[in-house]
């Protein structure tokens, strides 16, 4: 119940890219990661710097992979049982890394996570994990120089949201070319965050139109950088919509992988 511990833990979650409660789909991930933090601090005397890195990696993994969703009690009981064989700080950190490695495999990034991004769900740990990854990487908003993270801080919105989820292939445009269901139009891989003004500016313009405008404004080198940072396939504006979704899901998963590697540094 020590508030200093709690606030230190909240800062660790922030290090993992989760800086707003709207990003967290499972309260269990918070509760049980905090328990793990306390165990590491008091039972194994892990020093503050190592513990911070260790738990930030753990929370990043557990939030995006649904680690504490489903059979939570059995998962936690197994974890406590495993920890009986852990005797010091080095073994604790090694245990955490080992469990993360069993989840964050090449197959996870190449197949599992892209598959989980094949969804139109309004609440998605996969989407939240991608956004957290952009925050870890200090990614600027698409077509902006301001970091994505700034818009998730309390007080950045007035009566209008300072940040909007924008359809990369606008919804009305997709309707016109034959995509009539929200399941198709509201795919996670069709979203990005934009500041309010840019969202209004792009509106319902087809990608081939607004991309050309921003490409000319930014210059080719900067435009390519924006695409890489936002998991946009090369020449996406000219792609078939379904092809675009498939390629972007894979690229979004690689952004998550890149962010995790940064947390490991």
Contact present, 236 and 244 (Cβ < 8 Å): yes
Residues 132 and 244 in one domain: yes
pLDDT at 155: 46
Q: What is the rounded distance in angstroms from the CA atom of residue 92 to the CA atom of residue 96?
A: 6
Final residue before a domain boundary, out of 104, 137, 172: 104
Alpha helix positions (H), the chain? 3-15, 27-38, 48-64, 72-83, 89-103, 106-107, 113-116, 125-136, 171-176, 182-185, 196-202, 207-218, 220-229, 241-264
Angstrom distance (rounded) from CA 4 to CA 21: 19
How far apart CA 94 and CA 115 sit, in angstroms, is 29
**What's the rounded Cα separation, in Å, for the pair 260 and 37?**
19
Instruction: Retrieve residue 79's tokens.
Output: 């974890």
Report the C-alpha gap between 172 and 233 in whole angstroms: 22
Q: Does residue 56 sit in the same domain as residue 153?
A: no
Q: pLDDT tens digit string along 104-123?
A: 999 999 999 999 999 999 88
C-alpha 141/C-alpha 82 separation (Å) is 42
Per-residue pLDDT at 194: 87
Span 33-62, mean pLDDT? 97
Average of pLDDT values for 152-162? 54
- Distance between CA atoms of residues 181 and 178, nearest Å: 9
| Same structural domain, 115 and 65 | no
Percent of the chain with pLDDT over 70: 96
pLDDT at 74: 79
Confirm if 120 and 76 have CB atoms less than 8 A apart.
no
Host domain of residue 217: 111-264
Q: How far is CA 208 from CA 4, 143, 245, in A?
A: 51, 15, 16
Q: How far apart are CA 257 and CA 63, in angstroms?
A: 14
Q: Do residues 256 and 133 make contact, with C-beta atoms less than 8 angstroms apart? A: yes
Same-domain check for residues 165 and 70: no
Among the candidates 72, 104, 136, a domain finishes at 104
Same domain, yes or no: 39 and 128:
no
Per the structure, the count of domains in the chain is: 2
Q: Which residue has the tokens 């795919």?
A: 187
Q: Which residues lie across from 194 on neighbouring strands?
A: 164
Whether residue 173 is found in the same domain as residue 260: yes
Residue 129 is given by DSSP the state H
Domain boundary among 104, 124, 147: 104
Shared domain for 205 and 251, answered yes or no, is yes
Same-domain check for residues 77 and 170: no
119 in the same domain as 92: no
Quick one: which of 130, 98, 105 has its CA closest to 116? 130
Residues 132 and 50 in one domain: no
State residue 76's pLDDT score: 87
In this structure, are 209 and 171 located in the same domain?
yes
pLDDT band at 162 (very low <50, low <70, confident <90, very high): low
> Is the predicted pLDDT of residue 60 greater than 70, yes or no?
yes
116/207 same-domain check: yes
Residue 161, pLDDT score: 54
């Amino acid at each position: 119940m020590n508030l200093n511990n709690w606030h230190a833990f909240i800062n660790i979650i922030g290090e993992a890219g989760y800086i707003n409660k709207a990003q967290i789909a499972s309260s269990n991930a918070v509760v049980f990661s905090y328990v793990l933090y306390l165990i590491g601090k008091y039972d194994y005397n892990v020093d503050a710097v190592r513990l911070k890195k260790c738990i930030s990696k753990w929370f990043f993994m557990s939030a995006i992979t649904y680690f504490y969703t489903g059979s939570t009690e059995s998962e936690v009981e197994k974890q406590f049982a495993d920890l009986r064989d852990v005797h010091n700080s080095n073994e604790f950190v090694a245990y955490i890394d080992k469990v993360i490695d069993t989840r964050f495999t090449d197959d996870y990034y190449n197949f599992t996570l892209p598959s989980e991004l094949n969804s139109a769900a309004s609440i998605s740990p996969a989407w939240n994990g991608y956004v957290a990854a952009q925050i870890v990487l200090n990614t600027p908003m698409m077509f902006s120089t301001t970091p994505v993270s700034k818009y998730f801080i309390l007080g950045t919105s007035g009566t209008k949201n300072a940040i909007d989820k924008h359809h990369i292939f606008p919804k009305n445009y997709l309707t016109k070319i034959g995509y009539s269901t929200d399941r198709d139009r509201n795919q996670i891989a069709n979203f990005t965050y934009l500041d309010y003004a840019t969202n209004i500016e792009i509106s319902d313009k087809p990608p081939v139109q607004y991309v050309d405008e921003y490409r000319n404004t930014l210059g080719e080198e900067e435009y390519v950088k924006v695409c890489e940072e936002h998991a946009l396939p090369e020449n996406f504006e000219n792609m078939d919509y379904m092809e675009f979704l498939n390629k972007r899901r894979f690229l979004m998963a690689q952004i998550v992988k890149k962010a995790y590697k940064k947390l490991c540094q």
